Amino acid sequence: MRILVIGDSITRGTQGVGYVPRLARRHPRWQLENAGVNGEPLQSIGRRLLRRLAAAPTAYDAVVCEAGYNDLLLPTFAERGFWFRQALAQMHRQGHEPLADATAFEQAYAQLLTEARALSPVPIVLTTLGCLGENLTAGLNAPRRAYNAAIRRVATLHGCPLADAEAAFDAALLPSPPAAEFQSSFVGLAFADKIWCALGRADALSRQRGLHLTIDGGHLNSRGAELFAQAVEAPLLALAAHRQLA
């Protein structure tokens, strides 16, 4: 089965632990193409998806679309100090614009799927957002729930299979004592954490920060990557069985 996995840094997997390599190891006959790009919000991911489908409408048997984290995260950069503001300005200059709220996000996602369906019949699996901070009662997790509700509605409306990372992450985090709310510095987010991860030390970084599923509240550690992989795997297996694909 030929699968395009498109998204942001959660999909790219270089910041933290990737879920796509876990799928590849478990399903060696799946041809998985990782098209994750760090920092991109929904509209940027959507533009790349439409370009790929326009260029090769029948190149894939399935698409996994993971999007929304940066629509919530990028606006917070304006309040997090000089270097975060500089990074946000650079993202704006590159055309990476987060959507204003869950309503705008839902409308943009619905429009993306309408345009994608006009280009290609390939089934598109939508993922919900795992967590944004491991204390589920704090920070961005309240708006995350609104964005995930939007993803579910869009998936239902357009007949898209759902990879429900939110349900898996909430089930894992709710029984645990809330981790101290960790917020990475700019140096950590942009440089130091990447070095730890490149050295295979993502889980050590996570333990050092008292986190369960992530290295920084969003990017995945091994346990989080496994939960995300399982969430994505389930609808892909159902598609493979339905279409009799290996």
Q: For residue range 81-118, what is the model confidence (pLDDT) as tens digits?
A: 899 999 999 999 999 999 999 999 999 999 999 999 99
Mean pLDDT (the chain) is 94
Annotate 190-227 with b (16+ C-beta within 10 A) or e (fewer). Answer: eeebbebbeeeebbebbeebebbbbbbbbbbbebbbbb
**DSSP 8-state assignment for residue 30:** S
Measure the N-to-C terminal CA separation of the chain; round to a whole number of Å: 6
**What pLDDT does 185 receive?**
84
Specify the pLDDT at position 8: 98
pLDDT of residue 182: 67
pLDDT of 246:
62
Compute the distance between CA of residue 160 and CA of residue 235 in angstroms, rounded to an integer. Answer: 10
Domains and CATH numbers, the chain: 2-243 (3.40.50.1110)
Mean pLDDT, residues 41-70 taken together? 98
* pLDDT tens-digit series, residues 157-182: 999 999 999 999 999 999 886 655 66
Q: Which residues pair with 62 in a beta bridge?
A: 3
Q: Is the pLDDT of residue 201 over 90?
A: yes
What are the distances in angstroms from CA 144 to CA 87, 119, 122, 226, 237? 22, 30, 27, 21, 27
Q: What pLDDT sits at residue 177?
A: 66
Which tokens go with 215? Answer: 């290295």
- As a whole number of angstroms, the distance between CA 199 and CA 179 comes to 24
What does the alpha-carbon distance between residue 64 and residue 123 come to, in Å, rounded to a whole number?
Answer: 9
The pair of three-digit structure tokens given for residue 76, joined into one six-digit string: 């917070």
The fraction of the chain above a pLDDT of 70, given in percent, is: 97
pLDDT recorded at residue 211: 93
